[in-house]
Homo-oligomer: A and B are copies of this chain.
């Protein structure tokens, strides 16, 4: 595995789930697999879960880990070519990336959407430069449009908790004070469809996601109707994808907050969210603290999904 952005990079999801269970059962089973291999984690943006769970995953595999915060303790990088670099950026990614590749075996990159330009974000400009120029296998630790380690952990969590072969999984938009990227809902929709679940995506008008990710899901606009009979409710805020409103907030409608009344419409659904979550915006205290809430098990599975992915990448290195 040379890159990790989408479910197709993993191949058969059932096989990946079996590997996840194997690691969950004995986290250090492959502690020799990463001996004398180094993971470089590069953060262009903040992180809690990804930072901790990916480090833990690498340690499960006996790897060395180097963490680099690019806007803290390191340079601001120029990303365009042909520029006379007389401003505040003292290094070009075209030098910085191959150099980073020299000192490690695998690279994880966190680089959020910037909302300057949808095409730049949706081309995964920064991540793709790492893939092209680093000379190393690269995985997304949430990039501009995808968050596959999260979606893989969500998939593991649903497989562990589902009560029917093909559960109804509802991804619903919810309000938030700031403009957020589409990375989490994009990947969640994409992975749920790849898992062959009954997938519904529901949002207010204007918040439709890129069809590349929602193809195969039912797209709706009435939250109550969507929640009916749901087995899993995945709440998440995102900003508008469609032009000319890309990256903008079109609504903060608190009627979309997930409450106990909303959950009563479902098939006693489990509640999910990738975290961090704004309580009483996205979801009430009552729902997130209920026995049906899976937010902590989901987060715990981030260690597992990352361990499976790193193990696959190490295996490919050794071939």
Q: Which chain A residues have a beta carbon within 8 Å of chain B's beta carbons?
A: 27-28, 31, 36, 38, 40, 43, 46-49, 51-53, 55-56, 59, 64, 66, 68-69, 72-75, 78, 81-87, 90-92, 94-96, 98-100, 102-104, 177, 275-281, 285, 288-289, 295-296, 299-300, 302-303
Which chain B residue shows the least CB distance to A102? B300
Q: Point out the residue from B59, B177, B296 that lies within 8 Å of A95, measured CB to CB.
A: B296
Asked if B73 contacts A69 (CB within 8 A), the reply is yes
CA distance A130 to B148 in the complex (A): 29
Task: List 15 additional contacts besides A38-B56, A69-B73; criterion CB under 8 Å.
Answer: A27-B36, A40-B52, A47-B74, A51-B73, A52-B66, A75-B276, A83-B279, A84-B279, A84-B280, A85-B281, A90-B278, A92-B276, A95-B299, A96-B276, A102-B302
Contact of A99 among B40, B49, B98 (CB under 8 A): B49
Q: A177 touches which one: B47, B68, B86, B96 (CB < 8 A)?
A: B86
A72 with B75, Cβ < 8 A, contacts A81-B285, A83-B279, A99-B275 known: no
A162–B291 Cα gap in the complex (Å)? 56
Copies in the complex: 3
CA distance A104 to B99 in the complex (A): 28
Say whether B95 contacts A276, CB under 8 Å: yes
Find the B residue at minimum CB distance from A278: B85
Give, as a whole number of angstroms, the nearest-CB distance from A49 to chain B.
6
Highest count of chain B CB atoms <10 Å: which of A40, A46, A103: A103
- Please name 11 pairs of A and B residues whose Cβ atoms are closer than 8 Å in the assembled complex, sorted by A: A28-B36, A43-B73, A48-B74, A52-B99, A56-B103, A86-B278, A90-B278, A95-B295, A99-B299, A102-B303, A103-B303
In the assembled complex, the Cα of A296 lies from the Cα of B103 at a distance in Å of 11
Question: 4 nearest interchain CB pairs?
Answer: A91-B276, A85-B278, A102-B300, A86-B177
Inter-chain contacts of A87 with B (CB < 8 A) = 177
Kindly report which residue of chain B lies nearest to residue A299, judged by CB atoms: B99
Given A83-B280, A102-B303, A296-B99; A74-B51 close (CB under 8 Å): yes
